[in-house]
Amino acid sequence: MSANKKTLVLKVGGALMQCEMGLARLMASAANIIESGQSVILVHGGGCLVDEQLEANGMETVKLDGLRVTPEEQVPIVVGALAGTSNKILQASAVKAGITCVGMSLCDGAIVKGSIKDEQLGFVGEVSPNDPTYLNFLLAQGWMPIVSSIAVDGDGNLLNVNADQAATVIAKLVEGQLVLLSDVSGVLDGKGQLIKTLDKAHADELTKLGVIEKGMKVKVEAALEVAQWMGQPVQVASWRDAEQLSALEKGESIGTQVMPH
C-alpha cells in the first residue's frame, strides 16, 4: 500500500444491502481504489434489516433522536442482523468483486473501548478509539476490513452502536478519509436540493428548523466531529454514485462536503 495515501473509510447504510446493483457498483469502485494502492475500510449499518428482523420476531422498533432503543431481548436479533447477515452480504459481494476482505466487528482486536451510552437507550454503545494494531495488520496485507457496528463493554455486554458513530471512531483510529454513503445524494435543504457545503452553524440552523432530522442528524453530527478532529472535510454522499469515489482522490467533492469550521 502506498504510504502517502490516507486510508479511505467508507460507511454504507443498510439500504445498500437490499440493492444488488448498488452493491456490485460499490464493490467494483472499492476494488479499483484498492488496485490503485489506497487502502479501504468498509464500515456498515443495516438498520432496515434490523427493523425487518425485529418485526418478524414480533418486536417493536423504537428510536430516540435517530438511535434505536435496544432492550436486552432485542440484542440477539440486532447482533444477528448486523454482525451476521449484513456483514456476510457485504463480504459475499466483495469476494465476487475480487476483493480479499475480512468480516469483523468493533469487538475484534480491542480496536475500540465500548460502554453503555445512556441507560434510557438500553444496550446502545458509545465507543472510543483504542488500538489500531489489528486494523493496520489487515490493511498491511492489502485486505479490506468490513466492520459491523457491534461492540462489547468491559462487562461482556454486547452493544448496538450507530454505524455512523462507529465509522467516526474507525476513521480516527487510522486517521483516514471518511465518506458517509447513504441512500440520499447528500444533505438536502428544505426544498430537497443538495447542499454542496455545510458548516456547523448552517447544520445547527437546519437541525433547529427540523430540516435535518433522524438518521441524517446523527450522520451530520458524526461528519462534523470527524471534520473538526481531522481538520479536513467529510463527504456525505450516496452509494448510488459510488463510481464518483475516484473523484475524491483528485480533490473533487461528491455529495455534501461537511466542513471542519
Ligand X SMILES: CC(=O)N[C@@H](CCC(=O)OP(=O)(O)O)C(=O)O
Ligand-binding site membership of 47 (annotated): yes
C-alpha dihedral over 49, 145, 241, 6, to 10 degrees?
Answer: 140
What is the nearest approach in angstroms of ligand ADP to the Cβ of residue 21? 16
Ligand-binding site membership of 46 (annotated): yes
Q: Which of 13, 45, 47, 215 is catalytic?
A: 47
Active site residue 47: yes
Q: Distance (Å, rounded) from C-alpha 73 to C-alpha 190?
A: 38
Should residue 214 be labelled a site residue for ligand ADP when binding is judged by CB under 6 A? yes
Q: Which residues neighbour 183 within 8 Å (Cβ) at sequence distance 6 or greater?
A: 13, 15, 16, 238, 239, 240
Q: How many CB atoms lie within 10 A of CB 142?
A: 13
Ligand-binding site membership of 190 (annotated): no
What is the nearest approach in angstroms of ligand ADP to the Cβ of residue 133? 28
Should residue 14 be labelled a site residue for ligand ADP when binding is judged by CB under 6 A? yes
What is the nearest approach in angstroms of ligand X to the Cβ of residue 211? 19
Active site residue 199: no
Residues in the chain: 261
Which residue number is nearest to ligand X in terms of Cβ? 45
Give the rounded distance of the alpha carbon of 159 from its chain centre: 16
Give the rounded distance of the alpha carbon of 194 from its chain centre: 20
Should residue 13 be labelled a site residue for ligand X when binding is judged by CB under 6 A? yes
Asked whether 10 and 179 are in contact (CB, 8 A), the reply is yes
- Partner touching 10 among ligand X, ligand ADP, none, CB below 5 to 8 Å by kind: none
Ligand-binding site membership of 162 (annotated): no
The neighbouring-strand residues paired with 12 are 44, 181
Among 23, 34, 47, 101, binds ligand X (CB under 6 A): 47
| Stretch (H or E) spanning 99 | none
Q: Which of 103, 164, 176, 215 is catalytic?
A: 164
Here's the x/- map for ligand X, 149-188, by CB under 6 A: it reads as x----------x-xx-------------------------
Sign of CA dihedral 122, 116, 112, 260: positive
- Partner touching 158 among ligand ADP, ligand X, none, CB below 5 to 8 Å by kind: none
Q: What angle do CA 179, 181, 182 make, to 5 degrees?
A: 150
Q: Distance (Å, rounded) from C-alpha 131 to C-alpha 111?
A: 5
Which residue from 168, 169, 151 is spatially nearest to 160, judged by alpha carbons? Answer: 151
Catalytic residue numbers? 11, 14, 47, 164, 219
Contact set with ligand X (CB under 6 A):
13-14, 45-47, 50, 67-68, 78, 82, 124, 149, 160, 162-163, 215
Contact set with ligand ADP (CB under 6 A):
13-15, 45, 47, 164, 182-184, 187-188, 211-216, 219
Extract the annotated binding site. Answer: 46-47, 68, 160
